[in-house]
Amino acid sequence: MIKRVIEISSGPARLSIANRQLVIEREDQPRATVPCEDIGVLVVDNKAVNYTHSVFTSLVDAGASVVLCGGDHHPAGLVMPLAGNTVQTERHREQIDASQPLLKRLWQTIVTGKLRQQSVVLRDVTGSDEGLMELAARVRSGDPDNLEAQGAQRYWPKLLGKEFRRSRDGPPPNNLLNYGYMVLRAGMARAICAAGLIPTLGLHHRNRYNPFCLADDLMEPYRPFVDLRVAGLVAEGFAATDLDRSSKQRILSMFSDTLEFDNERSPLLLALHGTASSLVRSLQSGTPGLALPCGLPLRDTDDERS
């Protein structure tokens, strides 16, 4: 089943549960309901939203994640299922016991995949990839040459203009990127927990204050899908200093994009689970075999040709 990403950004609103359905009530609007089992991620980005306790328990029981945003639209909290897999203990042990050579080769695969995705996005938006595909071919185990950072130095000025600097606290369109990455991170964290892995224990990212290091690792090749949406908004003249409902919807719609993934076609939200599952197989076999997205989202014309 393709899960949905639900965003609540207008208020006041009240969320409750009735008959395994999320109930959304707003003044002067019809009562709306969504089956809990259909929800992959619920994003609440308005301080005037009230909840019943069962909203959180019912959604996590159904395997959903809940992202709670602060006044700056950044995530202030993430509610996740505590036990996402029946063999969780076994998976945790495999993750903890993974060798450093394996972790470095997995990170090599991730950086290579990210650079390749950045390459196809740049070529689609600007007509040139600034040599990113060539950089991707040179990534070594553990990325000791930091080609990921070298790629970023080429990528961002070409994609969003010479004056643009990627920074979480920077001016727009950094706010759009932050929002997209935030929801992507929640989706990846959900997939990691569903696969029975520890989201805190990363392959490359190490931060004692970061509970989602592994999500930050595995989402890297997916970031360019957010970048592509944001570049489109910028090209259309989006210049607001704050996020609006239309731009959020445009970014969130990426989760229903169809991707080429592991020699098949898959919606992006399901592809995240495929990547997490492929990490499990890699840890079990001791051989890096991550399944990562390949190329741009498929367009209607691509489907017609197939």
pLDDT tens by residue, 163-184: 999 998 899 999 999 999 999 9
Q: Which CATH class is domain 88-305?
A: mainly alpha
Q: Start-end ranges of CATH 3.100.10.20 in the chain?
A: 4-79
Sheet order of strands, 39-44 included = 4-8, 39-44, 65-69, 75-79
Assess whether pLDDT exceeds 60 at residue 30: yes
State whether residue 254 is helix, strand or coil: helix
Residues 6 or more apart whose Cβ sits within 8 Å of residue 274: 261, 262, 266, 291
How far is residue 111's CA from residue 141's CA, in Å, rounded to a whole number? 10
Per-residue pLDDT at 27: 87
How far is residue 22's CA from residue 34's CA, in Å, rounded to a whole number? 5
Per-residue pLDDT at 34: 96
Q: Start-end ranges of CATH 1.20.120.920 in the chain?
A: 88-305
Percent composition of the chain: helix, strand, coil (DSSP 3-state, to 5): 50, 15, 35
Q: How many CB atoms lie within 10 A of CB 88?
A: 16
Give the right CATH number for 4-79 from 3.100.10.20, 3.30.479.10, 3.40.50.300, 1.10.760.10.
3.100.10.20
Per-residue pLDDT at 240: 60
Assess whether pLDDT exceeds 80 at residue 125: yes
Q: Average model confidence (pLDDT) for the chain?
A: 90
